[in-house]
């Protein structure tokens, strides 16, 4: 069997300490390339990404965003470009090493049978390392809430570690998506389930970042509470 051609899309904001390790671990896999979408990080992550592009010729693309920053906006810009490229699979993951690149081949393999495969923290109980108890409860509650409101079936609807078949991702209405923070991940999955995508999950152990800072803010969390209702109401109208 020939190896799939995989593009790994990674949004970054102030991830200077994490990016070199991430790049070397992702690109250790044959047939993998990366797209780094940097939001003009004040810590110089964008320039670092350009240097890494020189170290791995032909295997890294860097998208430098200007203007309003945001995780959802970054993914929309990056994924719209990604689906036009000559690749079989498109993965998305965080830059902070919470998502171990060692799982990428398992996600890619499961994409033979699914249109999107989620790296899931909640398949065998809770597989999260170094989260305080309140964060575990918050995430578990968020998933229960989202699944109840939207009728989404995966155990982990908020995981940012995913692998898509390029053709399935290309069919999603990326341009029309309304959420910007983590809710964007829920919106993508909602549209995928609605369009009949086969959704799979493989277990991962999520490890909380050791370097850099979280970008989770109160408005972003509130958006996650509102978006499930917006998605459902948009479809029933």
The set of residues, in sequence order, having a beta carbon less than 8 Å from that of 50 and lying 6+ positions away, is 62
Tokens of 19: 């990016």
Q: Is 159 in the site for ligand GTP (CB under 6 A)?
A: no
Residues 4-33 that bind ligand GTP (CB under 6 A): 11-13, 15
The distance of closest approach from Cβ of residue 42 to Mg ion in the complex, given in angstroms and rounded to an integer, is 18
**Residue 5 touches which of ligand GTP, Mg ion, none (CB < 5 to 8 A by kind)?**
none
The distance of closest approach from Cβ of residue 95 to Mg ion in the complex, given in angstroms and rounded to an integer, is 8
Mark residues 66-105: x for contact with Mg ion by CB under 5 A, - for none: ----------------------------x-x-x-------
Residues 89-118 that bind ligand GTP (CB under 6 A): 94-96, 98
d(CA 202, CA 29): 18
Q: Which residues pair with 207 in a beta bridge?
A: 129
Closer by beta carbon to ligand GTP, 9 or else 116 = 9
**Residue 191 touches which of ligand GTP, Mg ion, none (CB < 5 to 8 A by kind)?**
none
d(CA 173, CA 112): 23
Mark residues 169-198: x for contact with ligand GTP by CB under 6 A, - for none: ------------------------------
Closer by beta carbon to Mg ion, 4 or else 160 = 160
Residues 112-171 that bind Mg ion (CB under 5 A): none
Question: Out of 8, 26, 35, 37, which residue is the one contacting ligand GTP (CB under 6 A)?
Answer: 37
- What is the binding site for Mg ion (CB under 5 A)? 94, 96, 98, 209
- What is the binding site for ligand GTP (CB under 6 A)? 11-13, 15, 37-39, 69-71, 74, 94-96, 98, 208-209, 214-216
């Amino acid at each position: 069997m020939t190896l799939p051609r995989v593009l790994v899309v990674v949004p970054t904001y102030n991830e200077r300490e994490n990016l070199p390790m991430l790049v070397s671990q992702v690109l250790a896999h044959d047939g993998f390339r990366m797209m780094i979408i940097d939001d003009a990080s004040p810590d110089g992550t964008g320039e670092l990404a350009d240097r890494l592009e020189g170290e791995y010729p032909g295997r890294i693309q860097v998208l430098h965003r200007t203007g309003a920053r945001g995780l959802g906006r970054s993914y929309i810009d990056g994924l719209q470009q990604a689906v036009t490229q000559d690749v079989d699979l498109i993965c998305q993951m965080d830059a902070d090493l919470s998502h171990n690149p060692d799982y990428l081949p398992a996600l890619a393999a499961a994409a033979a049978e699914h249109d999107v495969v989620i790296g899931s923290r909640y398949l065998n109980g809770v597989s999260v390392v170094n989260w305080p108890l309140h964060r575990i409860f918050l995430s578990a509650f968020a998933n229960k809430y989202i699944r109840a409101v939207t009728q989404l079936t995966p155990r982990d609807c908020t995981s940012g570690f995913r692998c898509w078949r390029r053709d399935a991702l290309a069919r999603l209405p990326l341009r029309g998506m309304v959420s910007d923070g983590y809710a964007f991940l829920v919106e993508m999955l909602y549209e995928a389930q609605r369009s009949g995508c086969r959704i799979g999950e493989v277990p991962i152990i999520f490890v909380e970042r050791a370097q850099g800072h979280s970008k989770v803010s109160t408005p972003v969390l509130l958006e996650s509470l509102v978006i499930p209702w917006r998605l459902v109401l948009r479809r029933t109208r």
